[in-house]
Structure 1
Amino acid sequence: MRIVQLSDLHLRPDPLFGEIDPWAALAMALTRVAGLQADLLLISGDLAEAGDVATYTRLASTLAGLALPLALVPGNHDQRSAMFAAFPGHWENPEMLCRRFDLGPLTLLLLDSQVPGQPWGEIGEAQLRWLDANYPERRRSVVILHHPPFAVGIAGMDEIGCRDGKALASWLLRRPLVEAVWCGHVHRPVFTGFAGKMAATAPSTVHQIALQDGALAWTPEAPGLLVHDLLPGVPLRSHYLPLEAAPVVPY
């Protein structure tokens, strides 16, 4: 089974930084996805730059042509009620966009870490109660949220990561069938361990955050996506791919 993860689309009608067309970047990403034989498309937050209804409506129409199941989580730029309206039936509760998604032998626990009006996220009692109620005791699982609950080594991003990461770590340590934690928000791929699980952040489809000390800065490094593969009896594995496919040349 294969899950393709896009993140941080930042869709808006005009270019980002005057030079990056987020809709053209999404079109490139979806062309790449179409060639990957995916079973699910995951988008891990910041779908719309301004959280407006028109952007979500256009996105829903664009994704409808994929004929792929979708798994969506909100990011700090997103607006819950507008997302809920544009993707009817995707969530049960418009006040917290969490969802359990069973796909073959894997369960995705899509967790809403948004704090409205703030760039950082949090895992509070409501999220932990939801996890308790939806965790499958006998299925391989992944927890997915926008804000990473672990440090990524970029000071500006760590300041606006997921607060209360220790609470989630404590929950995960008691859940052996959770294999991984997948996130967005960081605008670059980062791979680490968290509470004994594989942990990863996805690149953005638009700009990347520079890996450097000091103030946050963006870079036009190649946008990309993650490909997560699940095979029976084998640990989950993840690949990074740039959005633009390169020639494949035999040795």
Structure 2
Amino acid sequence: MRIVQLSDLHLQPPGQRLYGRVDTAACLEAALARIAALAPDLLLISGDLSDRGSATEYAWLDRALAPLSSPVALMPGNHDRRETLRAAFPGQGWTGEDDAPCHRRLDVATGTLLLLDTVVPGQEHGLVDAAALDWLEAACPARTRTLLVMHHPPFSIGVAGMDTIACRGAEALDAWLARHPNVEAVLCGHVHRFVATTFAGRLALTAPSPAHQIALDLDGAPGELAFTLEPGAFLLHLWAPGRPLTTHCVPCAPAPAYRYAALGG
């Protein structure tokens, strides 16, 4: 099974530039063109779909996604607004209504995805609280292979400005995962960089953004967070029966491929 994870679009309507520099609409169009060529079984967008959570931004996203033949699963990030997002995408099958968390269990051919809403309205950091753990406990299958998807990572990435706005409640989530060995990986967004580590003994990844990346400043202070116009990218997860999850980081801009045999040596 091919699962594309796209994250942190920070979408603004065409013609507007984020921070006066980033054409997020054009970046999304470039990403979707490459994603369509990969023909994924699922497109998962792991939060910060829009920059301001406006109906205009979500309407443009809906139009951009319409030509895709792949099913799409959405989840909110800290830049999104739940009520507006629900109104724009009423068929997503989220739990609750209005401003309640948009959790979702998604059963696919290889297993189950648990989409956990970690948003704290009005805050940049995330949270896994008792209610979120209760939902996970009820939604998680007993034995089926499972992937946990969150916007905010519950682990450090080594960039101080992002680590201060990561997901709180990590110790409780770690304890929950210890009781659910069928959850094999934790997939996150929020960071605007591809980062690979482990959390609770599982593979833990963050997805890059198709638009702007967070600068790799390993010595900076929290107040020195910066973005960079490094090339945009997304993740392609290959999830096949009997095989561990395998992930590729794919640049949004394609490049030609040259077969060695054709080069004569």
TM-score normalised per structure 2: 0.93
Work out the number of aligned pairs and report it.
Answer: 251
Larger mean CA deviation between 53-62 and 224-233 belongs to 53-62
- CA displacement at 1:231 relative to structure 2: 1.5
- 1:68 equivalenced with 2:73 (yes/no): no
Q: 1:93 aligns with which of 92, 96, 103?
A: 96
**Counterpart of 1:71 in 2: which secondary structure?**
strand
Kindly provide the CA deviation profile for residues 69-101 of structure 1, in whole angstroms up to 9, marking residues without a partner as x: 111111000000011111112113121100000
Q: Which residue of 1 aligns with 2:134?
A: 129
CA contact (8 A) 2:233 2:252 kept: yes
* Counterpart amino acid of residue 56 in structure 2: A
**Pairing of 1:1-251 with structure 2 (within 5 A):** 1-13=1-13, 14-90=16-92, 91-94=94-97, 95-212=100-217, 213-214=219-220, 215-251=224-260
5+ residue gaps, structure 2, are 261-265
CA contact (8 A) 2:106 2:112 kept: yes
Query: Runs of 4+ in structure 1 displaced over 4 angstroms?
Result: none
- CA displacement at 1:138 relative to structure 2: 2.1
Kindly provide the CA deviation profile for residues 163-189 of structure 1, in whole angstroms up to 9, marking residues without a partner as x: 111111111111111110000000000
**Over alpha carbons, which structure has the higher Rg?**
2
- Aligned mates of 2:256, 2:110 — CA distance in 1: 33
**Counterpart of 1:35 in 2: which secondary structure?**
helix
- Aligned mates of 2:19, 2:64 — CA distance in 1: 24
* Counterpart amino acid of residue 84 in structure 2: A
Q: Which residue of 1 aligns with 2:263?
A: none
- Aligned mates of 1:36, 1:234 — CA distance in 2: 20
5+ residue gaps, structure 1, are none
Larger mean CA deviation between 52-61 and 220-229 belongs to 52-61
* Counterpart amino acid of residue 28 in structure 2: L
CA contact (8 A) 2:39 2:70 kept: no
CA contact (8 A) 2:192 2:214 kept: yes
Kindly provide the CA deviation profile for residues 42-95 of structure 1, in whole angstroms up to 9, marking residues without a partner as x: 001000100011111221222122121111111000000011111112113121
TM-score normalised per structure 1: 0.98
- Aligned mates of 1:83, 1:155 — CA distance in 2: 30
CA contact (8 A) 2:46 2:149 kept: yes
- CA displacement at 1:105 relative to structure 2: 2.2
* Counterpart amino acid of residue 27 in structure 2: A
- CA displacement at 1:160 relative to structure 2: 0.2
